[in-house]
Amino acid sequence: MKVQSVIVPLVLGLCVAGVAGAQAAPAKLPGNGLAQHDFLYAGESHQRNIFIVRGGKIAWSYSDPAGKGEISDAVLLSNGNVLFTHQVAVTEIAPDKKVLWNYDAPAGHEVHTAVPIGTDRVLYIQNGDPAVVRVVNIVTGATEKEFPLKTKQPPSTHGQFRHARLTTQGTLLVAHMDLNKVVEYDASGNELWSFPADRPWGVTPLANGNVLITDSKGVREITRRGDSVWNWTPADAPGYTFASLQQAWRLPNGNTVINNWVNEWNAPAEALVGTLQAIEVTPSKQVVWALASWTDPARLGPATTFQFLDQPAAAENVQFGEFK
């Protein structure tokens, strides 16, 4: 069922150093820095890096040797493989960085989001005209499912999609940046639910059935009835510097982590060292962790996606219709 809801007004707080007259961020950021969580980290940057951080140190890293595109999405599988998209392709590599599978997007198309289904299948969205959802068996090479997605006309390939995620019900949540909405699809491409958003970048299904949406205004937790039951904007963290919010994750303890990206193409990352890469807040919006790791020995660079590695289930333990 489609839900037509009014967007809850939120205060714009992006691209600012804080709120005038508000207390500045503490000289020492809250939390334990890199030791706060074990996580996978990747970002759209010149270097196209992926990191796995464990115990407060970089345990594994990868730099895209092809030198093309920008890493928009990445996920660590339980077997140690990493699946990632880098605009011009989607690739799975082994822990030793050997390429196990790769798909190159054709000219005029881009791939910015992908999720594993088991260890034999990958679901990805290919931006373009037409834009499509595709499920590929990476063992046989066969395309086992494909359906088109609506896009704004005339199409603008780069601005169509960044993130899509599978729910525990075996459906797909897609952030339509160009159409200003989040849509849930079944495995046949039928629209089941939608909610308006302002250039949504990230969407995360929650265990309680609600949906976390990150857009240009902030982060909201939305029920399937369309009610906003929790929201956060940069104005809720006065004094901290944000550039461009990307995604949000609900941790097992009930806290929410929101990541923030810095555009290296407009300014070098070093010029924005005070800008956060991530912030963790409690349900009451108290800041308990802020990450700004811009210098050696843990120069992480801009943040586009995280995966918190204390989650109980394997990332590939999902279903999309008949595929699991």
Is 50 exceeded by the pLDDT of residue 1? no
Please state the domain count of the chain: 1
Is 50 exceeded by the pLDDT of residue 127? yes
- The average confidence (pLDDT) of the chain is 90
219 neighbors 212 (Cβ within 8 angstroms) = yes
Mean pLDDT within 44-48 = 85
What digits encode the pLDDT tens for the residues 137-181? 999 999 999 999 999 999 999 999 999 999 999 999 999 999 999
Question: Which neighbouring-strand residues pair with 223?
Answer: none
> Residue 311: left if φ>0, alpha if ψ -120 to 50, beta else—which one?
beta
In this predicted structure, what is the pLDDT of residue 269? 61
Q: Count other Cβ atoms within 10 Å, centred on residue 89.
A: 18
Looking only at the bridges linking them, the beta strands covering 99-104 and 278-281 are unpaired
Is 50 exceeded by the pLDDT of residue 193? yes
Residue 3 lies in a domain: no
More confident residue, 288 or 267: 288
What digits encode the pLDDT tens for the residues 246-269? 999 999 999 999 999 988 888 766
Residue 322 lies in a domain: no
Residue 83 lies in a domain: yes
In this predicted structure, what is the pLDDT of residue 9? 32
Residue 22 lies in a domain: no
What is the token pair recorded at 181? Answer: 């909405």
User: What's the residue count for the chain?
Assistant: 324
In this predicted structure, what is the pLDDT of residue 198? 96
Rounded to whole angstroms, the Cα distance separating 240 from 45 reads 22
Mean pLDDT within 102-129 = 97
232 neighbors 256 (Cβ within 8 angstroms) = yes
Measured in degrees and rounded to the nearest 5, phi and psi for residue 268 equal -65, 145
Residue 323 lies in a domain: no
CATH number of the domain enclosing 163: 2.120.10.30
Q: Which residue has the tokens 């494909």?
A: 146
As a 3-state breakdown, the chain gives helix, strand, coil percent values, each rounded to 5, of: 5, 45, 55
Based on DSSP, count helices (H) and strands (E) in the chain, helices before strands: 0, 24
H runs (alpha helix) in the chain? none
Residue 160 lies in a domain: yes
More confident residue, 20 or 306: 306
Is 80 exceeded by the pLDDT of residue 15? no
Is 70 exceeded by the pLDDT of residue 8? no
Rounded to whole angstroms, the Cα distance separating 235 from 238 reads 6
In this predicted structure, what is the pLDDT of residue 106? 97
Residues contacting 149, CB < 8 A, separation 6+: 125, 130, 131, 132, 133, 160, 161, 174, 176, 189
In this predicted structure, what is the pLDDT of residue 136? 98
* pLDDT level of residue 22 (50, 70, 90 thresholds): very low
Measured in degrees and rounded to the nearest 5, phi and psi for residue 260 equal -135, 130
Rounded to whole angstroms, the Cα distance separating 225 from 210 reads 9
What digits encode the pLDDT tens for the residues 211-237? 999 999 999 999 999 999 999 999 999
Residue 9 lies in a domain: no
* pLDDT level of residue 270 (50, 70, 90 thresholds): low
279 neighbors 240 (Cβ within 8 angstroms) = yes
Residue 57 lies in a domain: yes
In 3D space, the residue among 174, 73, 150 whose CA is nearest the CA of residue 115 turns out to be 73
In this predicted structure, what is the pLDDT of residue 4? 37
Mean pLDDT within 278-291 = 97
Q: Which domain holds residue 148?
A: 33-308
CA 132 to chain centre: 19
Is 70 exceeded by the pLDDT of residue 95? yes
What is the token pair recorded at 247? Answer: 């995604």
Rounded to whole angstroms, the Cα distance separating 125 from 133 reads 5
Rounded to whole angstroms, the Cα distance separating 74 from 112 reads 10
Question: CA Rg, the chain, in Å?
Answer: 19
- Collapsing DSSP to helix, strand or coil, 252 comes out as coil
